[in-house]
A and B are shown apart, each in its own frame.
Chain A
Amino acid sequence: MIKHKDLSIVISGEAGQGIQSIESMITIFAKKAFFHVFATKEYMSRVRGGCNSTSIRISPTSVMAGVDRIDILVPLTPEAIPHLKDRIGDSTIILGEKSLIGEDRMIDLPFTAIAVEAGGAIYSNTVAVGALCALLKIDRAACEPGIREFFAQKSGDVQAANVDAFNRGYERGLSLRQDIAIDIAADPDVAGKIMLTGADAVALGAIAGGCNYVCAYPMSPGTTVFTALAEYSKRFDIIVEQVEDEIGVANMALGAWYAGARALVSTSGGGFALMSEAVSLSGGIETPLVVHIGQRPGPATGLPTRTEQGDLNLAIHAGHGDFLKVLLAPGDLEEGFELSRAAFDIADRYQSPVFILTDQYFVDSYYATRTFKVPEAPLENKVVATAADYRRYVLGSPDGISPRGIPGMGDGIVCVDSDEHDEGGYITENREMRVAMVAKRLAKIEAVKKDAIQPTLYGDARYSTLLVGWGSVKMPIIEALAAIDQPGIAYLHFPWVYPLPESAAGYMAAASTRVAVEGNATGQFADLVEFETGLRFDHRILKSDGYQYTVEELADKISALL
């Protein structure tokens, strides 16, 4: 009997063994059966071999974070057992091919032998899906069209063989129900929910923000958003271009914005490092730029397929000179959609670079969530039709913003120059003009504060202990607090991380114990908060092993401080 209210299933195998297809089918069928679903994966930087795993939670209530605990482990390779040894407990049920895996305690389920009956060993993953669906008491008949749809690209024979494999697996699963009793209630509310990855949420948010040009150089995990937008490009008229290098990427995006498009760049820390010159150019010529940075552990190539929140300082300090940069960091899928949309609005309004910071964990994880609110009207481009005497950098506005024209729209000309320039965009070394242009750019840093998204407090509003975090640590922290279930603790979440919203200081001052929680080695955001508020953190919970916090891990670390 599984004693937890939700079920944690882990599937582990080599790259190329098809973990992903098992995960996809299980999560799709479980959600269709009105279970709440969460899935996250960890994988090595290799195309074949190694040992990877995917963790799935099936729950009667909403779940948006991963757990350490494994209730059912399905190993596809003997390596899975040592790979997951820290997570396998006494109560973990190991289900799979005993002859292959060789664990005495495991419940034997000969996927391959059953698959051969259905037509070949290639169908063994579908056998596993059938067995798990039976254990979850998912209606068998409801799954059949789903199986066919999943293999829609394949021939009718292959689809039929997969349905057969599923049914055979399902039969075997039924016979195991006595050994593995699972009783999870379905929730009808799941019906209205959507299920998608963080990368997909960011991509859809970009479309809502009017994104019609995306360019990138492939780099994990930033590629996920690039790929997602490429998939939507035909339906939404988005120009997609893979550029020769990241320097070209960011400069190309500025050209697109200058000409009137809304361009997105997607990359990771190492690629973003190459874009610094264009970030500075964006600030200098006051041309918008939106960059999605999917963070992964550095320095250098680091751990290419794993997660970290280590690029905050890089992003804050990117680009020489003084100018406005805005950093947004979604902590859940809704924030992924809304901040991505907002990034285009802010970039357009302030004619400045805006960065969306996610990480491998965020872009790859997915779960059932409330549907996104799509505004009735698209965002209006804040560009003006130019008059014959138009000048791009007219001075005098208190917020430093001068109306942005685009070439060919109106009678005027639009001149932008990376050199210091006068109001018309022409190179100048006039000292008064330099001072005025610096002031114009700095005024935007001040002006953006009124539009900053303020942090959100979760937990006890009359807290004495305040946890502070940003980005993808949000949901693990919130579930850990629920698990700890003690009064006097709250979590302050920053979707807008830079420039730091002014309300941060008040929240910090109200706490007697302040704890920073983030996924990097030093506490980069904690440093920023301390610098801006003048208030110190008492503790920093940090992590840089390439993995996201699990709920139990955070609950233990937080409890130890109480």
Chain B
Amino acid sequence: MTENVFDFNKKIDIAWCPGCGDFAIRKALLSALQELGLERKNLVMVSGIGQAAKMPQYINSSFFNGLHGRALPVATAIKAVAPNLTVIAEGGDGDMYGEGGNHFLHAARRNPDLTLFVHENMVYGLTKGQAAPTSRLGMRTPVQVSGVISEPLNPVALAIAMNVGFVARTFSGDIEGTKEIMKRAILHEGFALVDIFQPCVSFNKGNGFQWFKDNTYKLESDYKADDRARAFARALEETPFPLGVLYESDQRRPFEELLFAYREDKTPLRERKPDMELLRTVIREKA
């Protein structure tokens, strides 16, 4: 195997717990980036806060590791200013569906050409074991001492309801399958969500590796992902949860393409110069 330009040529100190599903997701991501043959300087990883949101630190590329929940507005702007860049937003379920829930909804509406990888482990890891928006009903935590009483958020059904053009779910235990879906998600023109089931070995004993094994299945090989209503119905299935690409459609055009600034001129915004002569004219018109 050739050297992966997105990996480091030295040992790096990774803050994840031994056995964490994040390692497998990183492995899948590194392979996906390499196999797509992306230029290192044209990739930007964007994240918020959490264990999953540390991923950009461990990928040898540009990154914007900002604040909790805020990856998507940042990533949307980066793509709009420089459409030639590949932009990947990555984080955990608390980051993207909890603190960043509103941004998730509106990123789905805008449809920027960026890829969102969400590590779904159904628990808060970095803050040590509280419920996530995806935690299963009844799950007991140091805060939800009598068990979770709120309905878990269903990100894939929500994304299909919002007409996101690429919606998939994978399991970190399947590195090869996750990698292949990551590649398709990155290539999709528009907003793409890959929700990645991932065991948290430290804080979620109830939904561990074996639980995910037992409660998931792969979509049939002849499943057609082009029907939104059918995809929505499958997205509602729980225990077992279907894995694979639930919905894929190229009907919507990406946000950046629709922006007036790019309708005629495709030059990235940041490479254009302000027209000072026009400004003088506009000011003269105020006389």
Taking Cβ atoms with an 8 Å cutoff, the residues of A that contact B are 191-196, 200, 204, 207-208, 210, 212-213, 215, 232-239, 241, 243-245, 247-249, 251-256, 258-261, 263, 277-278, 281, 285, 371-372, 374-378, 381, 406-419, 425-427
Residues of chain A within 8 A of B283, CB atoms compared? 194, 204, 371-372, 374
Residues of chain A within 8 A of B56, CB atoms compared? 415
Known contacts A258-B78, A415-B63; decide if A234 and B287 are in contact (CB<8 Å): no
Partner among A192, A243, A418 whose Cβ is within 8 Å of the Cβ of B106:
A243
Interface residue stretch chosen among B39-47, B132-140, B171-179: B39-47
Task: Provide the bound-state CA to CA distance between A42 and B25, in Å.
Answer: 58
CB A9 to nearest CB in B, in angstroms, measures: 22
Whether B270 and A259, one on each chain, are in contact in the complex, defined by CB atoms closer than 8 angstroms, is yes
- CB-based closest 4 A-B pairs: A260-B270, A255-B77, A255-B74, A194-B286
B275 contacts A by Cβ under 8 Å: yes
Partner among B65, B81, B273 whose Cβ is within 8 Å of the Cβ of A378:
B273
Q: Count residues of B near A (Cβ-Cβ below 8 Å).
A: 55
What are 13 contact pairs spanning A and B, CB under 8 A? A234-B260, A239-B261, A239-B269, A251-B70, A255-B46, A255-B73, A259-B81, A277-B67, A278-B67, A374-B283, A378-B274, A417-B65, A427-B65
Query: In chain B, what residue has the closest Cβ to A409?
Result: B270
Q: Could you give, for residues 247-283 of chain B, a 1 whenever the CB lies within 8 Å of some chain A CB and a 0 otherwise? A: 0000000000001110001001110111110111011
Query: In chain A, what residue has the closest Cβ to B80?
Result: A239
CB A397 to nearest CB in B, in angstroms, measures: 22
Residues of chain A within 8 A of B282, CB atoms compared? 204, 232, 235
What number of A-B contacts does a CB cutoff of 8 Å give?
A: 187
Whether B77 and A253, one on each chain, are in contact in the complex, defined by CB atoms closer than 8 angstroms, is yes
CB B8 to nearest CB in A, in angstroms, measures: 10
Whether A237 and B269, one on each chain, are in contact in the complex, defined by CB atoms closer than 8 angstroms, is yes
CB A489 to nearest CB in B, in angstroms, measures: 34
Partner among A194, A233, A252, A418 whose Cβ is within 8 Å of the Cβ of B65:
A418
CB A109 to nearest CB in B, in angstroms, measures: 32
Residues of chain B within 8 A of A236, CB atoms compared? 274-275, 278-279
Task: Provide the bound-state CA to CA distance between A193 and B64, in Å.
Answer: 46
Whether B74 and A212, one on each chain, are in contact in the complex, defined by CB atoms closer than 8 angstroms, is no
Whether A261 and B81, one on each chain, are in contact in the complex, defined by CB atoms closer than 8 angstroms, is yes
B49 contacts A by Cβ under 8 Å: yes
Residues of chain A within 8 A of B65, CB atoms compared? 415-419, 427
Residues of chain A within 8 A of B81, CB atoms compared? 213, 239, 255-256, 259-261
User: 15 extra interchain contacts, Cβ-Cβ under 8 A, other than A234-B260, A252-B73, A413-B61?
Assistant: A236-B278, A239-B80, A239-B259, A243-B73, A255-B81, A256-B80, A261-B269, A371-B283, A374-B283, A408-B42, A411-B41, A415-B56, A416-B65, A427-B15, A427-B65
Query: In chain A, what residue has the closest Cβ to B105?
Result: A244
Whether B41 and A413, one on each chain, are in contact in the complex, defined by CB atoms closer than 8 angstroms, is yes
Known contacts A244-B103, A415-B63; decide if A407 and B41 are in contact (CB<8 Å): yes
Query: In chain A, what residue has the closest Cβ to B103?
Result: A248
Residues of chain A within 8 A of B66, CB atoms compared? 251, 254, 281, 285, 416, 418
CB A532 to nearest CB in B, in angstroms, measures: 31
CB B271 to nearest CB in A, in angstroms, measures: 8
Whether A237 and B261, one on each chain, are in contact in the complex, defined by CB atoms closer than 8 angstroms, is yes
CB A186 to nearest CB in B, in angstroms, measures: 15
B130 contacts A by Cβ under 8 Å: no
Residues of chain B within 8 A of A207, CB atoms compared? 274, 279
Task: Provide the bound-state CA to CA distance between A245 and B102, in Å.
Answer: 8
Whether B78 and A374, one on each chain, are in contact in the complex, defined by CB atoms closer than 8 angstroms, is no
Partner among B44, B63, B106, B286 whose Cβ is within 8 Å of the Cβ of A417:
B63
Whether A192 and B287, one on each chain, are in contact in the complex, defined by CB atoms closer than 8 angstroms, is yes
Query: In chain A, what residue has the closest Cβ to B268?
Result: A260
Task: Provide the bound-state CA to CA distance between A38 and B96, in Å.
Answer: 50
B20 contacts A by Cβ under 8 Å: no
Whether A417 and B62, one on each chain, are in contact in the complex, defined by CB atoms closer than 8 angstroms, is no
B11 contacts A by Cβ under 8 Å: no
Partner among B67, B84, B269 whose Cβ is within 8 Å of the Cβ of A418:
B67
Whether A414 and B62, one on each chain, are in contact in the complex, defined by CB atoms closer than 8 angstroms, is yes
Residues of chain A within 8 A of B284, CB atoms compared? 194, 371
Residues of chain A within 8 A of B57, CB atoms compared? 417, 426-427
Residues of chain B within 8 A of A194, CB atoms compared? 283-284, 286-287
CB B86 to nearest CB in A, in angstroms, measures: 10
Task: Provide the bound-state CA to CA distance between A238 and B269, in Å.
Answer: 8
CB A381 to nearest CB in B, in angstroms, measures: 8
Query: In chain B, what residue has the closest Cβ to A413?
Result: B62
Query: In chain A, what residue has the closest Cβ to B274?
Result: A378
The B52-105 residues at the A interface (CB cut-off 8 A) are 54, 56-57, 60-67, 70, 72-78, 80-82, 84-85, 102-103, 105
Whether A247 and B274, one on each chain, are in contact in the complex, defined by CB atoms closer than 8 angstroms, is no
CB A391 to nearest CB in B, in angstroms, measures: 12
Query: In chain B, what residue has the closest Cβ to A253?
Result: B77
Whether B275 and A407, one on each chain, are in contact in the complex, defined by CB atoms closer than 8 angstroms, is no
CB B66 to nearest CB in A, in angstroms, measures: 5
Residues of chain A within 8 A of B102, CB atoms compared? 244-245, 248
Residues of chain A within 8 A of B286, CB atoms compared? 194-196, 200, 371
Known contacts A212-B272, A426-B57; decide if A235 and B278 are in contact (CB<8 Å): yes
